[in-house]
Amino acid sequence: MSPQTYLSALFALDGRVAVVTGASSGIGRAIAGALARAGAGVVVVARKETELAATVDELTAEGCRAAWVSADLGSRAGVRAAAEEAAAVFGEPDILVNSAGINLRPPMGELSEEVWDATMAVNLEAPFLLGQRFGPGMAERGFGRIVHVTSQQAHRAFVQSGAYGVSKGALESLARSQAEAWSPYGVTCNTLVPGFVMTPLNARLASDPEKVAELAGRTMVGRNGLAEDFAGAAVFLASEASAYVTGQALFVDGGLSVH
């Protein structure tokens, strides 16, 4: 067996279908690109049509199968509509990546019910609803991969975690519940845990050079994360290679969490 054949059997996603939310920018976009380049047909889901179209144009220009769905994941109706539209493109997905999120962090004493509700709707309820829509079908077919993108705030509070930290902690618990329910049927459910990554979601912190340098200094590799740092981990968790990995949180953070 050649190295190429061996690696393809482990990691290639030929014939698989993936739905990736939050895929118009940042980590979600990088993950969508990695899955598409590994062979999956990828449907990218987010709000901004211009950015979605640019993402798909880049991938199709490289010969990948990709399409986009514009959706507001802040409402149940929006999530359900997005799920049906996404499934109609390449068929029912084998891989679901929940990377969409909002990052509203007022001081705890000023945290309103509106901010709480909006945060939970996008960061927690949308992944739950999409899992309910696609997870049982994956289990029936005997293969599935569900990957959630969480946060350091799922494990410890800093830089005003607020509702954001709560939503991400709950999302990791959701992954464990999904793993318990569906892993006996070939569906793994895991989370990717970023450190500080230079993406639009972190624009508030990224605008403070001193804070950016401080966070880089807390890693073991001496730099903050980039969206492309998640490509390999995403392909691993989406592929046959991770068949015995489920209910886990994989930290992609340059060692920040253990330094």
In this predicted model, what pLDDT tens digit does every residue of 200-213 receive, in sequence order? 766 666 667 888 88
Mean pLDDT of 52-73: 98
Mean pLDDT of 181-199: 94
Residue 1 pLDDT: 85
Whole-prediction pTM = 0.95
Q: Taking each helix axis from N to C terminus, what angle separates 26-37 and 49-61, rounded to the nearest 10 degrees?
A: 30
- Asked if residues 42 and 14 have their Cβ atoms less than 8 Å apart, the reply is no
Question: Where do runs of H (alpha helix) occur along the chain?
Answer: 3-11, 26-37, 49-61, 76-90, 113-120, 126-141, 162-182, 203-206, 209-217, 231-238
Residue 93 pLDDT: 98
Res. 161 pLDDT band, cuts 50 70 90:
confident
Sheet holding 249-252, edge to edge: 66-70, 41-46, 17-21, 95-98, 144-149, 187-194, 249-252
- Coil, strand or helix at 43: strand
Residue 208 pLDDT: 75
Mean pLDDT of 162-184: 97
Mean pLDDT of 212-226: 91
Residue 203 pLDDT: 63
Pick the closest to residue 201 from 19, 20, 55, 27 (CA basis): 27
- Asked if residues 132 and 126 have their Cβ atoms less than 8 Å apart, the reply is no
Mean pLDDT of 123-145: 98
- Asked if residues 195 and 220 have their Cβ atoms less than 8 Å apart, the reply is no
164 assigned to active site: yes
